[in-house]
Amino acid sequence: MKDLIIVGAGGFGRELLQWIKDINKVNKTWTIKGFIDDNSNALADLQCDYEVIGSIKKWEPNYNEVYACAIANPGIKENIVALLKSKGASFESIIHPKAIIGDHNRIGEGLIAYPNSCITANVVIGDFVTLLSSGIGHDAKVGDYSTISSYCDITGGVKIGKRVFLGSHVTIVPGRKIGDDAFLGAGSVVVTHIKEKTKVMGNPAKKILF
């Protein structure tokens, strides 16, 4: 059985720890070793079953270790994954038992799927996508390193680029395209295509500067 290390000891990391423990309750899959984080005090004054066992920058992977990525920011996620993979790290997909994964989907490496998340039919999911408790409709596509927060509605045929961040309660109407590195603020209702590197918010979603 492989040793599992969670990359990132923030709130996302502690949530991911719970989902890993839930998976182990159903089928003992990993031996959890703890977190790596460049902030050694990330868990200070917090109740947690495991500790920060080292920094990300200095960590040297062991042959029996696998990793789960708990970094929400898409750009930072990509950089950290690249760093660890350059040292030989291997990443796991963490799919909660209460996630729904339909047939005939293509799913990349390192998916994180929270409880009550849903990937329906003929969906393409890139590498290191983070899917909180949200649904992805038929024929949609989500690019590498994108993060979809909870209670989002990604409807049929939507195309989401690489390194896109969706805040909670985002709705994207069918067939819309979201460019690489876009940021969709919480509660946005997207009715048009969104260009790359654009930040939007509102109903209907409009470009914002911040």
**CATH, domain range 95-199:** 2.160.10.10
Q: What are the backbone dihedrals phi and psi of residue 201, each rounded to the nearest 5 degrees, phi first?
A: -160, 155
pLDDT value, residue 9: 98
pLDDT value, residue 209: 81
Q: What are the backbone dihedrals phi and psi of residue 184, each rounded to the nearest 5 degrees, phi first?
A: -110, 110
pLDDT value, residue 135: 98
Does the structural domain 2-92 have CATH classification 3.40.50.20?
yes
In the β-sheet with 199-201, what is the strand arrangement from edge to edge?
94-95, 112-113, 130-131, 147-148, 165-166, 183-184, 199-201, 206-207
Instruction: Classify residue 206 by burial, with Cβ atoms within 10 Å: 0-12, 13-18, 19+.
Output: exposed
Closest CA to 160 of 131, 117, 187: 131
158 close to 135: Cβ distance less than 8 angstroms: no
**Tens place of pLDDT per residue across the chain (210 aa):** 999 999 999 999 999 999 999 999 999 999 999 999 999 999 999 999 999 999 999 999 999 999 999 999 999 999 999 999 999 999 999 999 999 999 999 999 999 999 999 999 999 999 999 999 999 999 999 999 999 999 999 999 999 999 999 999 999 999 999 999 999 999 999 999 999 999 999 999 999 986
pLDDT value, residue 160: 98
Domain boundaries, the chain: 2-92, 95-199
Kindly report the pTM of this predicted structure: 0.95
